[in-house]
Amino acid sequence: MMQPLFLGLAGLALNDDERALFKSADPAGYILFKRNVDSPDQVRALTQSLRDLAGRDVPILIDQEGGRVARLRPPHWPEFPTGETFGKLYDKAPITAIEACRLNALALAALLRDLGINVDCLPLLDVRDLEGHDIIGDRSFGAEPMIVSALGKAVLDGFQAGGICGVVKHIPGHGRARADSHLELPVVTASRDELERDFEPFRRLANAPMAMTAHITYTALDANRCATLSPQVIDFIRHDIGFGGLLMSDDLGMHALGNPQSGGHPPGSNALADFGARALACLDAGCDIALHCSGDFAEMRSIVESAPVMSAAAARRLAAAMAWMGPGDATPVAEWAVARDALLACA
């Protein structure tokens, strides 16, 4: 029976321990990082081995945004622009920027689909805040919610046409955070009315196939638990923002969740047991999937031992997300990139 987990792995190929654990747990999907990629042929072999093990077209995720967040890099793979690049173009030529962003997404889709990767953790819908931590920074399309929404939709349109699935992140909004949730728990004290600016892109794109939560405490929504672990915030995402797709946590290994104030750190628990508790806490709060990225085997084993069987509702959302993407086509990455660059040069 499938478990509601997206898991990482340690290296360039499955090892025996991972193969046995994944076979018994049947996680819903996997995520790849720089440590898992070396060459195109190696990545294709790895993704095929994950599908062979699962016996189905399993979701295989990656963070391939462009700029500083890119797991696939030269010399084997091209560089891609940052979100900010398209936001700056939008200020001069909105229609051109939207089309350039769509073409960029088509290029990303062609690259990933060729490698057997079918989910990109993009578009980032976080509205930039000049006082916010630079962990978002130039990854954002900008400080205007309408522009972020328009360019985020262009990414989703390109992904759907290109045959991969997109993930909007970090719902309900990370741009206002003054800390990096990889390192500590951000606490956002803005009022509900002030937060509407952050929520707007997620409302506009509430029909996205997948979304990733933010490890942030929003005191206006739940002062005692971060969004990932808060039933109140997950309910807000579902019913106020209106997101009905597959909802995954951000990485369980981020230090924000290790903070006792996050709501997911049982007093006195040991480190390994805490990973199982974190997984349960985010699933109990209403996330469909718990995401664990590091590939640390002991942590994964603790998570697998704690995780329940995937709910029927989560399984339906996963199936709908995987059915959302189109078949793609045979247009090469370079052709989409040339068309994108021609539009970027226009401005």
CATH code of 3-346, in short, is 3.20.20.300
Of the candidates 63, 250, 251, 274, the residue annotated as catalytic is 250
Is 182 an active-site residue?
Answer: yes
208, two tokens: 């996205």
Residue 260 is predicted with a pLDDT of: 65
Q: Please, are residues 115 and 44 in contact by the beta-carbon 8 Å criterion?
A: yes
Residue 139 carries which DSSP code?
A: G
- What pTM, to 2 d.p., does this model score? 0.95
250 has catalytic annotation? yes
- How far is it, in rounded angstroms, from Cα 200 to Cα 69? 24
Domain residue ranges of the chain, discontinuous segments joined by +:
3-346
Q: How far apart are CA 53 and CA 341, in angstroms?
A: 39
From first to last of the 347 residues of the chain, give the pLDDT tens digit. 899 999 999 999 999 999 999 999 999 999 999 999 999 999 999 999 999 999 999 999 999 999 999 999 999 999 999 999 999 999 999 999 999 999 999 999 999 999 999 999 999 999 999 887 889 999 999 999 999 999 999 999 999 999 999 999 999 999 999 888 888 899 999 999 999 999 999 999 999 999 999 999 999 999 999 999 999 999 999 999 999 999 999 999 998 887 666 665 544 444 445 899 999 999 999 999 999 999 999 999 999 999 999 999 999 999 999 999 999 988 999 999 999 999 999 86
Buried b (16+ CB within 10 A) or exposed e, 181-211: beebbbbbebeeeebebbbbbbbbbbebbbb
Tokens, residue 141: 């399309």
What is the DSSP pairing of strand 69-70 with strand 64-66? antiparallel
The pLDDT of residue 143 is: 97
Chain-centroid distance, C-alpha 34: 16
Catalytic residue among 17, 91, 182, 239: 182
What is the predicted pLDDT for the residue at 32?
Answer: 98
Q: Which two tokens mark 14?
A: 């499955």
